[in-house]
Amino acid sequence: MKCFTGLMITLLACCDLYSQHYVPVDSSSEVSFKIKNLGFNTTGSFSGLAGTITFLPDSMAGCNFDVHIDASSVNTGVDKRDEHLRRADFFDVKNHPQIRFVSEKINTTKKNGTLFVSGKLTIKGITKDIAFPFTAQPIENGYLFTGEFTMNRRDFNIGAGSTISDRLTVMLKVVARAEATTVKQ
């Protein structure tokens, strides 16, 4: 019986060492934002989503998000505004081509299917801690991750003396598909 119990504990521990790796699918995902400009809501989006996601819903300790978007892909539907947003006073895409998020912890407490992630957001070479709730919905060969957070653009030196609000909301709908193999942590 001792051998059987020891074998089962070893097998269960080994299972936790394996997490499924996923790749964000840019064409199926949405990274969008809304911000007030002169009192009116302005919306926009980014594309070029890439990176890696390690996710095992029964073991949050082994989960990780390391994703980035192409900063030059900013799209508000107004070409002149988008060109301005790419300049040094906003996203400075020439010197900082990516916006990156790397998770540090995913809380295992689920409330109505909601998880909580904390990590580092890097924009224009400035890294800040952020945390926000998200959901992970299983889909064919992957997951749909959705989340939303509010941030202060001035924390990242974006648009110093501008007519836009300091606070903006970022909305995430990330489709991630499984890589071909399961990789050991």
**CATH number, domain with residue 177:** 2.40.128.110
pLDDT tens-digit readout, 27-74: 999 999 999 988 889 999 999 999 999 999 888 888 999 999 999 999
The pLDDT score that the predictor gives to residue 1 is: 45
Give this prediction's pTM.
Answer: 0.84
The pLDDT score that the predictor gives to residue 12 is: 38
Q: Domain limits at 72?
A: 2-184
Average pLDDT over residues 3-9: 38
Cα separations in angstroms, 36 against 83, 147, 158, 163, 171: 19, 20, 14, 9, 15
Q: Which of these ranges, 9-18, 94-103, 116-125, has the smallest mean pLDDT? A: 9-18
* For residue 97, pLDDT beyond 60: yes
Q: Which of these ranges, 13-22, 58-67, 128-137, has the smallest mean pLDDT? A: 13-22
> What count of Cα atoms within 13 Å lies in the side-chain half-sphere of residue 62?
18
* For residue 91, pLDDT beyond 70: yes
* For residue 180, pLDDT beyond 80: no
Tokens of 144: 């749909």
The pLDDT score that the predictor gives to residue 156 is: 96
* For residue 24, pLDDT beyond 90: yes
The pLDDT score that the predictor gives to residue 179 is: 81
pLDDT tens-digit readout, 103-120: 999 987 666 778 999 999
Q: Running DSSP on this structure, what letter comes out for residue 61?
A: G
Tokens of 63: 């989960």
Count of structural domains within the chain: 1
